[in-house]
Structure 1
Amino acid sequence: MSEPKRMGRMGRRPGHGPGGGMMPGEKAKNFKGTVRKLIQYMGKYKIAILAVLTFAVASTAFGIAGPKILGQATTELFNGLVAKVSGTGEIDFGKIGRILLFLICVYAFSALCSFVQGWIMTGVTQKVCFRFREDISSKINRMPMKYFESRTVGEVLSRITNDVDTLGQGLNQSVTQLITSVATLIGILIMMLSISPVMTLIALVILPLSGILIGIVVKFSQKYFVAQQKYLGEINGQVEETFSGHNIVKAFNKEEDMLKEFHGTNDMLFQSAWKSQFLSGMMQPIMGFVGNLGYVAVAVAGGMLVVRGSIEVGEIQSFIQYVRQFTQPITQVAQVSNMLQSTAAAAERVFEFLGEEEEDLTAEHPVKLENMEGRVSFEHVQFGYRPDQVIIHDFNCQVKPGQTVAIVGPTGAGKTTMVKLLMRFYDVNQGSIQVDGHDLRDFNRSELRENFGMVLQDTWLFKGTIMENIRYGRLDATDEEVVAAAKAAHAHRFISTLPGGYEMELNEDASNVSQGQKQLLTIARAILADNPILILDEATSSVDTRTEERIQRAMNNLMKGRTSFVIAHRLSTIKDADVILVMKDGDIIEQGSHQELLAQHGFYAELYNSQFEAA
C-alpha cells in the first residue's frame, strides 16, 4: 500500500501529546493485578533481579555497620584520653588506625555493591522498556483501524513515550530504593536495639509526631498538586494551540484575547504551584525539627547511661548517627509508594494497550493469487461502524478488470467507507466483497493490501530525501525507475528546481515543499508501486487546475489495464470513468457513464450542474 494514514500533529488534547500522558501520582485501577502482570513480564530477568536484591541488601548491611565500627574508634580514643589524663596509659593510635582502615574497607565494599546493583538494575529496566516498545510497535501493526480512529494520535504516542519512560524510571528507582529502604529500616532498628533498648524506645516515640505533622502537610498540599497538574495541562494546550494556529490568531487580531486567556491560566498555575511547592518544602524542616528533638532526647538519655556505665561513649555517637539515618528510609518509603503508584498506573496503561483487540491478519486457508486481474464484486454489502448504526444498507456493484470506477456523492454518503471495506480496514457486517471471485476475508490482509495502490487527499511523507519518499512505493526500485515515476506524475520538473534535486531532504512534516508538490510526490510513489488495483481519494484536490490536467493525463495512463476506484468531489475530473457510482445515504442510487447519468436528469445531473451554475 503506497499511502499510509497520516499521523498529524493537530487535534491533540492537552496532556495527551508526547509531552502529556499520565499525571504524576496517578493511581492504577488494579494495583495488585498490574504488579502481578509486571512481575510475570519481568520473569525472564529473575536471576538478574535476585542479584540486584542480594547486592542491595549487602550494600545496605555494610553501610549500616559503619557507624557501629566508627563508634568503636571513638570509644578507643575516649578511653585513651582518659588513661592519658589519669596517667595510666596512652592513646593507641595504631588500634584506632586499624579500626578506621577496616571502616574504609567496609564503606568501599558497600559502595561497590551499590554500584553493581545499580548497573544490573539499569540494564534490566532498559531491557524491559526495550521489550515494551517492541511489543507496542508490533501490536500497532496488528490492531484494527477503528482503534486509531476513536483515539487521538497523542494518546497512542503517550503509551510508547511517556508511559514506557515512566515505567522504566519507576522500576529503576523504586525497586532498588524500596529494597534498600526496608533493609536499612530493619538493619538500623536491629543496631539501635543492640546498643540500647531504652534509647531505641525514646527514638521510636518521636516518630509518630513527625508522621502526624507530615500527614497534615500532605493533606493540605495534595489539592494544590492536583490543581498544578490541571492548569499545567491547560497552559500546555493553550500554548500548543496558539502557536500551531498562530497565523489564524494574527489574521483575526486575537493576540490580546489569547494573551488574556494565557495570563489567567498562568496566574492559576502560579498560585497552585507556589502553594504546592511551599507546603512540600516544609516537610524537610519539619523532619529536621523532629529529628533534632530526638537527638536532644537521645543525648540526654545516653549521657545518663554512660555515667551509669551501661554503654560506651562511642555508642552514643553511633546511636545518634542511626537516629539521623532512621527517618530517611521512612521518607524514602513514602516517596517510593507514590512512585510505585505511578509505575503501576503506567504499566496498567501499557498492558491495557497490549491487551486490545487485534485484527485477524491471516486467514485459515488463505487465497494466493499469482497475478490479480482486478475483478471486484460488491454483493449485498451492509456495514456500520457501530452495529446499531448501519450506514451502508445494500451495496451491489460489479467491476470488470481494468475498469475505472468513480464514486461520487455528498459528504457522509459512504464513499470513503467503501474504500476502507475494500482495503479490509473493516469487515462487512453482511454480504461480501470479492476480488477475482474470492471473498476478501479469504485473503491474508497484508497480501491483499500489497495489490492496492492508494493516494489520499491527506498526503503522508516522512523525514528523508525525495528519492527515499518516492521509493517507499517499491523499495527495490532503481534510481532510474524512481525518476521515471516522477516524470509520469509530472513531478520531475519541480524536483529538478529544488536545491539538491532528488537528494533534497524533507523535514519532519514536509513543510519545505508546497501542498501540491507533496501530492505530486505521493502520486509518483503510487505510480512506482505499480499495483493492479488503484484507489484515488481526492488525489488531485491540492493542485492547481493546470497541474490537475497534467496529473489527470498521467493518471489516465496509470489506470490503463488496472482496476481503479476514484473518489472525487470535482465531477469534472471523472467524466471519462467507465462507471460512475452515485451514492447517497449509504446506497447506490444511480450508476452509469457520465453522459448516461446526465441524460437521466437525476441526482448526479443535479450535483454536476450545481458545480457550474456560476458559469
Structure 2
Amino acid sequence: MARNKYDVDEELLTKFKMKDLIRLLKYLKPYKVTMFGTVLLMLSASVANLIGPLLVQDAIDFKIPQGDIKGLVILSGIFVGTLIVNAVCFKFRVILMSQLGNNVVKKIREDIFYKIQKLPFSYYDSRPHGKILVRVVNYVNSLSDLLTNGFINFITDMFTLVCIIVFMLFINVKLTLISMIGLPPLFICIMLIKNIQRKNTQALSMKQSNLNAYIHESICGVKVTQSFAREEQNQGIFHELNKIYRRAWMRFVKANFILWPIIETISIIGIIILYFGGIFWVKGITIGVLIAFTSYISRFWQPISNLGNFYNAMINAMAYLERIFETLDEEVSIENLPGAIPMPEVKGAVEFKNVGFSYEEDKKILDNINFRFQPGSSIALVGPTGAGKSTIINLLSRFYDVQEGEVLIDGINIREVQLESLRKQMGVMLQDTFLFSGTVMSNIKYARPDATDEEAIEAAKTVCAHEFIMNMPNGYQTEINERGTRLSIGERQLISFARALLADPKILILDEATSSIDTRTELALQRGLQGLLVGRTSFIIAHRLSTIKNAHCIMYVDNGSIVERGTHDELMSARGHYYKLYNSQFSVMEAG
C-alpha cells in the first residue's frame, strides 16, 4: 500500500534480466525483412564511406606524382559516387527505421493498455493512477529512439568498426596496433560507470513517476483544492517534488555524459601517441599512408563513440523497460480459468454459499455469507457504511474473486464461466458514477453500441432522464466532458442508470442508484422501475430506505454478516436493526 502515495518511490520488485532485452527484440521479429534491408543499406553506406581515404592515398602517392590526370578524374568520380551512395542509403534508412520504431512503440503501448484494462481493481487500489499513466506514455516514448536508431546503428557501427580495422591493417599493421592502445582503459571505464548510470536512471524514473502522480491527483482534486483555498500549500508540495525531480535529472545527465568525454579524451591521446610515437617507431611511411591512416583513425573512434552512446541509450531504456515489463507481467487475478465455458443465457437465480472475503489478510470483510434467491427477485442490501454491502455485489460481478465458498448463478459457479459472457448479462450501476467524454447518446449506448437511438431514448425515459436531456443545448447529441463534471450528480446518475438498463440485463445491480436524485424525480423513477424489474433479479444498495420498501427481501448487513433478512413489514415487526434504522431515518426527515 506504500506505493499508493506520490511521495513514496515505486521501487522495482524484480531486477532486470537479459531475457527482458531478448523479449524486447521479439517485438522486432515481425519486421525482420525491413531490418535486413535497412542493415544492407547501412552496410553499403559504410563501405562507400570508407573507400574515400584509400582513394585519397592513391591520389597522393601515385596519381599526382605521376601526373595521371585521367586517373585523378576517375578517382574523383568514384569519390563523388561514394558520397551519393552514402546520402541515398542514409535517407531510406531514416524513413524505414522511423516507421519500424514507431510501429514497435505502438505495439508495446497497445499491449500495456490492453493489460491495464484486464488488471483487477486491487491493482488500482494500490498505486496512484498517475504512476500508471506515466508507464503507458512517458516510459514507452523513451524506447522510441532505441528502437528507431539504436539496434540498426549498433549493427552498422560494429560492421564499420571491423571494416576500419581491416583497412587500417591493410595500410599498416604496426600503426593499427599503436592506435588501439586506448581500448583497454576505455573498457575498464565502461565497466566502472555502468552501475552508476543505471542507478541514476532508475532514480530519475521514480521521481518522474512521483511528480506525474501528484499532477494527476491535483487535477482530479482541483475543485476541492480551490474550495479549501489550498493552492499555496499544494504549490509548495509541487515545488518540492519538482526540485527533487530536477536534482535527479541533473544526476542523470551527469552520469549519462560521463562516457562521451572519456571516449573523446582517449581518442585524442591515441592520435597524439600515433603522431609522436608511430612516426618515429614505424619506418617507411609515405605522406599518402599517413593522411589515409589519420583519416581512418579519426573514423575509428567515431563508431566507438556511437557504440558508447548506444550503451548509454541501452542503460537508460532498460530502466524504463523494467517498469514496462513489470506492468505487463502483473498478475491478472480475475481472468478466465482454463476450460472456462461461455455463460448460458442467465435466468437469474443467485446463490452465495459460505462466502468469505477480505481485502487485507488480517481484516475480514465478509464472513460465511449464505443466501439464495429465485429469478426475478429484488433484493435490497442495507446497513452501516463499511459493512460489506458493496463487496457482495463486487463478488457477484466478479470484480473480485471469493476466497472462501462460492458464488452461483443458475447453479453455475461464476469462476467457471468466461468473464465477458457473464458481465454482458449483468447491468451494473456503481456508486462512483463515471461518464466518458462524448455525447449523451454515446454514454447511454456504452454497454450496447449496437442499440438503436430509439432504444436508448426509451431507457432514458424509463429512468426519467429524457426531460432534462432534451433541455440540454443539443439534446442527446450534447457533448459532455470526462466524468460529466458539468452535469449535476443526480443527472450523471440518471444517465448512468439509463446505460445500465439499456444493456437489458437479467441481473441488475444498483449501488446507491438514487442517492443524488431529488424526491420528485425519485418518485417518478420508482414508478418506471416497477415494470422494469419484473422478470429480472435485482440487487439494490440504498441508504434511502423509502426506495426499497417493495423489495422481495431486505438484508441487513453488519460486520461482514447478514444479521437480518425479510420483507419490509417482517423486519419492521421484528423491531431489530432495520426497524431502528428505518425509524431513525424518518425521525430525522420529520425533524428536518
Q: Which residue identity does 2:377 align to in structure 1?
A: Q
Task: Give CA-to-partner distance per residue, 1:292-311, whole Å, 9 cap, x none.
Answer: 444444444576689x6x23
Q: Which residue of 1 aligns with 2:160?
A: 184
Identity %: 35
Counterpart residue number, 2:170? 194
Q: How far does residue 524 in structure 1 lie from its aligned partner after superposition?
A: 1.3
Matched, 1:72 2:62: no
Equivalent in the alignment of 1:100: 76
Q: 1:171 aligns to what?
A: 147
What letter is aligned with 1:419?
Answer: I
Match of 1:561 in 2: 535
Partners of 1:199 and 1:53 in 2: CA distance:
30
Q: Point out the more displaced range, 527-536 or 319-328.
A: 319-328
Q: Any conservation in 2 of the 1:27–1:345 contact (CA below 8 Å)?
A: no
CA contact (8 A) 1:28 1:342 kept: no
Q: Secondary structure at the match of 1:611?
A: helix
2:336 counterpart of 1:361:
yes
C-alpha RMSD of the superposition: 3.8
Aligned partners of 2:131 and 2:209 also within 8 Å: no
2:431 alignment counterpart: 457
One-letter code aligned to 2:561 = D
Q: Is contact 1:363–1:441 with CA below 8 Å preserved after alignment? A: no
- Tell me if 1:335 matches 2:309: yes
The structure-2 alpha-carbon separation of the partners of 1:264 and 1:582, relative to structure 1 and needing over 3 Å to count, comes to closer
> Offset of 1:531 from its aligned partner?
1.4
Specify which of 294, 299, 317 is matched with residue 291 of structure 2: 317
Q: After TM superposition, give the deviation of residue 558 of structure 1 in Å.
A: 2.5
| Structure 2 counterpart of 1:422, from 389, 392, 396 | 396
Q: Is the 8 A contact 1:409 1:415 kept in 2?
A: yes
TM-score by length of 1: 0.82
> Residue in 2 aligned with 1:447?
421
Q: Distance in 2 between matches of 1:14 and 1:71?
A: 63
Aligned match of 2:15 in 6, 26, 29?
A: 29
2-structure distance, mates of 1:368, 1:241:
39
CA distance in 2, matches of 1:275, 1:137: 31
The equivalent position to 2:487 in structure 1, one of 497, 513, 518, is 513
**Residues 574-610 of structure 1: per-residue CA shift (max 9 Å, x gap):** 2222211011122110011223223322222233334
Q: Within 5 Å, which residues of 2 pair with 1:403-422?
A: 403-422=377-396
Q: Cα distance, 1:128 vs. partner?
A: 3.7
Q: What's the offset of the Cα at 1:478?
A: 2.0
- Following superposition, the deviation at residue 236 of structure 1 comes to 4.5
Report what 2:352 is aligned to: 378
Equivalent-residue separation in structure 1 for 2:209 and 2:338 (angstroms) = 44
Q: Distance in 2 between matches of 1:253 and 1:148?
A: 29
Deviates further, 282-291 or 471-480: 282-291
For 2:150, give the aligned amino acid. S
1:405 positional shift: 0.7
- Contact 2:178–2:278 (CA under 8 A) maintained in structure 1: no
Query: 1:269 Cα shift?
Result: 5.1
Q: Closer, same or farther in 2 for the Cα pair 1:138/1:291, shift >3 Å?
A: closer
Aligned residues: 585
Matches within 5 A, 1:53-452: 53-75=39-61, 79=65, 91-139=67-115, 143-206=119-182, 232-267=208-243, 273=249, 277=253, 288=264, 291-300=267-276, 310-355=284-329, 356-357=331-332, 359-361=334-336, 364=339, 366=341, 369-370=344-345, 372-385=346-359, 390-452=364-426
Distance 1:324 1:14, change over 3 A: farther
Q: Given that residues 76 and 96 in structure 1 are in contact (C-alpha distance below 8 angstroms), is that contact kept between their aligned partners in structure 2?
A: no
- Partner Cα distance (2:260, 2:582) in 1: 76
Q: Is the 8 A contact 1:27 1:341 kept in 2?
A: no
Stretches of structure 2 lacking an aligned partner (at least 5 in a row): none
Alignment check: 8 A CA contact 2:263 2:305 kept: no
Deviation track 1:337-379 (CA, whole Å, cap 9, x = no partner) reads: 2322444455555455444346553784847645x43232333
* 1:100–1:544 CA distance, 2 compared to 1 (3 A): farther
1:607 pairs, out of 566, 581, 585, with 581
Checking the alignment, whether the CA contact within 8 Å between 1:170 and 1:342 is kept in structure 2 is: no
Q: Deviations 1:434-487 (Å, cap 9, x if unpaired)?
A: 333444345433222222111112122222211111122322322222222222
Aligned mates of 1:311, 1:248 — CA distance in 2? 80
Shift of 1:259: 4.0
Q: Pick which of 135-144 and 519-528 moved more.
A: 135-144
Deviates further, 332-341 or 284-293: 284-293
Q: CA 1:395–1:280 in structure 2 vs 1: closer, same or farther (change >3 Å)?
A: closer
2:503 equivalent in structure 1: 529
Task: Please list the CA deviations of residues 140-185 of structure 1 after superposition, one character each: whole Å capped at 9, or x if unmatched.
Answer: 5655544444454445545543444444442322211211222222
CA distance in 2, matches of 1:420, 1:426: 6
Relative to structure 1, is the Cα distance of residues 27 and 354 closer, same or farther in structure 2, using a 3 angstrom cutoff?
closer
- In 2, Cα distance between equivalents of 1:556 and 1:36: 60
CA distance in 1, matches of 2:157, 2:77: 27
- Say whether 1:586 aligns with 2:560: yes
Q: Provide the secondary structure at the position in 2 that maps to 1:485.
A: helix
Deviation at 1:317, TM superposition (A): 2.1
Alignment of 1:571-582 (within 5 A): 571-582=545-556
Rounded to whole Å, the distance in 1 between the matches of 2:471 and 2:135 is 41
CA distance in 1 between counterparts of 2:337 and 2:244 reads: 54
Measure, in 1, the Cα distance between the counterparts of 2:196 and 2:21: 29
Q: Unmatched 5+ residue regions in structure 1?
A: 1-10, 81-90
